[in-house]
Amino acid sequence: MRSAAAKPAAAPEAVRRAEIRSNTIPYLFHELAAARATGVLTVTDREARKTVYIDQGVVQFASSNQKDDRFNCTLLRERVLPLRDILKALEVALATKERLGEVMVAWKMLGPAEIEKWIRVHLREIVYSLFNWTSGQYLFEPKRPAGEVITLGIPADVVVIEGVRRITSWARAYEEVGGLNTEYRATKDASAIVRDLPLLPEETDLLVLCDAPMSLGEILDISGLSNYETCKSVWALFIVGALMKA
């Protein structure tokens, strides 16, 4: 099993590219966070392409060429607007070359604040969807991303915590955390590492429990989360350096 990237990585000075494997994306985001990297991350798998814009280790923007990742799909999935209104706005946007959100504000379908809220939801979903990718390629180019009016401002390690929660494969999670006898312990820097991370109360309790070495089996017996969610929490905390193997 691959070890956590606990030590800060050197800032990327050249283009980085590699094949994507089962654990590539979670560790990659942590490495970019630790390096306070600035650049554009492009992830591809056949025809699918998603791009994440990072500034000093903070995720600011994302884009995708997938139809299901379009803003109008987010609005429909979240039941923000009925299909009839969305189709009308799309028709106007196509004719006027305006952005969809601008059309919706002009037609009083949504207010500016609502557009900003749902655009951020839309961008987050694109970023988090990458955590279920286990194949393809990534390319990180260290350059200043283009400025955007609406940005996320999410530290990449926060993305790791939430992104691992979104992983749907039990096999991936269990492969990473090891068997029931694998022992974990909180690192000496755990409190500082997780201070600004969006941990669940059960995850904070997990770190307290691991002040002394504790096996995965013992953690699962005590955790207030399901076994599946606990394994993902252990994996995420391991990635960001809050847990280590005892």
Instruction: Name the residue type at position 180.
Output: L
Are both 185 and 130 inside the same structural domain?
no
Are both 66 and 175 inside the same structural domain?
no
Are both 72 and 144 inside the same structural domain?
yes
Question: Token pair of 210, please?
Answer: 């691991």
Cα 8 to Cα 11, 34, 86, 119: the distances in Å are: 9, 5, 45, 32
Are both 212 and 181 inside the same structural domain?
yes
Are both 197 and 228 inside the same structural domain?
yes
- pLDDT tens digits for range 100-113: 999 999 999 999 99
Question: Token pair of 40, please?
Answer: 């554009």
| Residue 85 belongs to a domain | no
pTM of the model: 0.88
- What DSSP letter does each residue of 53-76 carry, written as one string? EEETTEEEEEEE--GGGSHHHHHH
Is pLDDT of 1 > 60?
no
Are both 134 and 50 inside the same structural domain?
yes
Are both 62 and 179 inside the same structural domain?
no
243 DSSP assignment = E
| Residue 93 belongs to a domain | no
Are both 180 and 231 inside the same structural domain?
yes
- Domain stop point among 155, 187, 211: 155
Averaged over 112-123, what is the pLDDT?
96
| Residue 95 belongs to a domain | no
Question: Token pair of 243, please?
Answer: 């847990």
- Domain stop point among 155, 187, 214: 155
* Cβ atoms 130, 43 nearer than 8 A: yes
- Domain stop point among 155, 181, 208: 155
Are both 186 and 120 inside the same structural domain?
no
Are both 209 and 140 inside the same structural domain?
no
SS3 state at 110: coil
137 vs 11: CA distance, rounded Å: 20
Are both 63 and 178 inside the same structural domain?
no
- pLDDT tens digits for range 186-239: 999 999 999 999 999 999 999 999 999 999 999 999 999 999 999 999 999 999
Is pLDDT of 80 > 90?
yes
Question: Token pair of 223, please?
Answer: 């955790």
235 vs 246: CA distance, rounded Å: 14
Percent of the chain's residues with pLDDT above 70: 95
Backbone angles phi, psi at 172, to 5 degrees: -65, -45
SS3 state at 50: strand
Domain tally for the chain?
A: 2
| Residue 54 belongs to a domain | yes
**Residue 175 structural domain:** 170-245
| Residue 101 belongs to a domain | no
Please, is 144 exposed, middle or buried when counting C-beta atoms within 10 Å of its C-beta (0-12, 13-18, 19+)?
exposed
